Chain A
Amino acid sequence: MRRDIAARAPANSASRIRGAIAGILGNAVLGIFSLTCVFPIVWMFYSSLKTQTQFALSTLSLPVRPILDNYVAAIQSHMGLYLLNTLRNTAISVALIVLLSFVTGYFLSRFRFRGRNLLYAYFLIGMLIPIHALLVPMFIQLKTAGLLDSWYTLLLPYVGFGLPIGIVLAESYVGGIPRELEEAAAIDGSGFSRTLFTIIMPLAAPVLAAIAIIQSFAVWNEFPFALILITSDQWITAPVGLSTVFRSEHFTDYPGLMAGIMTTMVPVLIVYFLFSNRIMKGMTAGAVKG
């Protein structure tokens, strides 16, 4: 961007200076924006190294003598277990959502059959129902079915609530992939399933990545269902764990809470750095811009 400005600037020195100032100003504004995004994380990190008293004394100052006690406490308080539960829920639900959305989206996009529009509308309606209205019915349903409070309990609502947006995205994206590719594949002797999974699926990768990213966020942070449907300590997820371990009736242990959040952020950060390129592409694919 700076190069553009410089290139367009006429050769006289006054406007070159003006261009340089504009460049500096532009960068300064962007820099401040970046800082507002990065600072909370930096603040959270160094605050997690403080004692409660130090934090109470000044919320913004750097730790005088950094301590790791909060991390020790976070790990001892089953935070690792909660994190594992969240990881498992996210991995399984997102895989199922991506697979099912792709297949369903493909069918809704490629085939015209009686009831197709009804089916599509049915999936659309799924996006309109507020989750809180379904907490109690969902609880009763899962209780009657004997599916409460287990490792798989949360997968059902997560997949169910993740499908509508996934299907809508996949349906519209598949609509843009030329049919001729499938015809060519058929002529070359490729069967339907093979065409679907080895030719169309890789072409739809950007939208599938977008679905995976959106749903990973949703499942990772999900709170109400995890709160209501899970009772045993062994299946509690990280968001619920964070809100209970570090908060009592009248106090919040902020440094402890921050150590807990930092711990649960690590896997997300690792995944982000590994796939940052793909995530950037995925975020800008499909209908939903992140």
Chain B
Amino acid sequence: MKAVKCSLISAGAALLLLGLSAPLSFAGGAKESSSSGTTTITYMNITARSNVGSSAYATGLYGAIDDYMAKHPNIKIVSESLDQTSYQTKIQALAAANDLPDIFDLKGSWVSIFANNGWAVDLAPWVNADAKWKNGFTPGSFAPVIRGDKIYGVPSQGFITSIVFWNSALWQSIGYSDFPKTWPELLDAVQKFRANNVVPFVMGNLPNWPAESCWLSTLGDRLTGTAWTQSIIAKSGAKFTDPDFVAALKTFQDLATAGAFNKDINSLDVDPARQVYYDGKAAAFVDGSWSISAIASQAPADVKNATRVAILPSVPGGKGDPNTASGGPAWFNAMGASVKDPARQNAVVDVIRAITDGRQTAITASLGGVVAYTDITFDSSKLPPLMVAFNGLMKNVKPVPIYDAYMDAAVIQTMNVGLQSLLIGAVTPEALAEQIQAAEDKVSAN
């Protein structure tokens, strides 16, 4: 028995030694050498380098990064990109473990969590000191990341999250040469499309943010007015149970009941929804400005040429300005709290500046991206026609807050999941409003 134990122990020990010694011999190559005086800045984001060329923002972003590294040979920017869902899991784990990268993408609705836990560095001293940089952004761009006198991030790109992309040929076939300007007209068009077996609006609400971010942020504003949204954000009196917001939920549900959406709304993803539109089986879809480049590069020629852009129509009795669409930056560049050395903080801010100011946005805008930093001149000759049409439309449209860029993550989660039920008639507008308000109360109580 003793011999047994001995041989087992020695086998175990050998295995352990093997396990410990092998890493030592391999690890050498992986570690950064700091002897050459190079500063390595880590940057975690949701924009993969492999999208350079196909995505305007990725091209602008990595163009700016490469340019910066070429001009500053002593700075090395190491970026790690993940898709949104994975990114969200990882950044929260890293934050909880207090090991955030130097620069990371911060979503508007996460700001409170990151600020309250001290995970992000206040960038106000640098942003306020550089007036040209600060004022180059469209007014209100910083609003989601401001808490008191602190600024927790710098806008990375601009968005309009609620644009109606409509197939003019299909709308023509039911007698509409222009997109409806009022809600009753819209409901009438829905009836006519249903009679022709065409899906009026295709929505891929599987990831559950589209109904809220692309529809309700604008539809809500039509009924409540922006002052209500501001009051919700500032927690100064407005409630989700207010009649105007309930009316917005009801209008949304009525639209769904009228048959405006596809039946598989909650099981269809965003990309496949766009395919339904490309196939000519849907007359329109409401999505963000990011879809402009998707249509330009993916849609078949006939659909591409027939596609027009519009905003959601006005709703009778609504308190909001009908010439608005939800928009603004939803993602921000933030500095991780582990950066403490002042010299290093300066270096990190300098990189943030390079990836958010004209060096990035001039390229992004010239390729058809919507930017937040607008103090630039760029070559507009290569823009896709739809982008030109969009720019024309936006001249008269005012951006209003995107719900998920401003409101707290827990509230948005309740709203997003609730909207999935609302659109299939599984919950009443009143009950959903109460659920959202309950989530809001819980957040406010903490």
Task: Point out residues on A near B: beta carbons under 8 Å.
Answer: 52-53, 56-59, 73, 77, 96, 103, 135-136, 139-140, 143, 147, 149-152, 155, 191-193, 224, 227-228, 231-235, 240, 243-254
Contacts and interface: CB of A to CB of B under 8 A. Distances in A.
Given A57-B278, A77-B50, A103 B270 contact: no
Given A136-B96, A244-B81, A252 B26 contact: no
B299 A152 contact: no
Contacts of A140: 97
B48 interface: yes
B279 A247 contact: no
Nearest to A135: B93
B97 A244 contact: no
8 contacts: A59-B272, A136-B93, A143-B99, A224-B89, A228-B90, A240-B82, A243-B82, A251-B51
Contacts of B57: 249
Contacts of B279: 57-58
Q: In which size bucket is the chain B interface?
A: 35 or more
Nearest to A193: B7
Given A136-B93, A139-B93, A250-B294, A232 B7 contact: no
A170 B65 CA distance: 53
Given A151-B26, A234-B30, A243-B83, A192 B89 contact: no
Contact of A57 (B58, B81, B300): B300
A77 B94 CA distance: 26
B274 A56 contact: yes
Contacts of A59: 272, 275
Contact of A228 (B47, B93, B298): B93
A248 B298 contact: no
A253 B15 CA distance: 43
Contacts of B275: 56, 59
Nearest to B274: A56
A212 B22 CA distance: 23
A265 B7 CA distance: 40
B3 to A, nearest CB: 7
B48 A227 contact: no
Contact of B89 (A143, A152, A227, A253): A227
B418 to A, nearest CB: 23
A245 B50 contact: yes
B48 A245 contact: yes
Contacts of B17: none
Which of B11, B90, B290 is most buried by chain A, counting CB atoms within 10 A of its CB?
B90
B257 interface: no
A84 to B, nearest CB: 14
B271 interface: yes
B99 A150 contact: no
A248 B278 contact: no
A244 B83 contact: yes
Contacts of A245: 48, 50
Contacts of A151: 23, 26, 30
B55 interface: yes
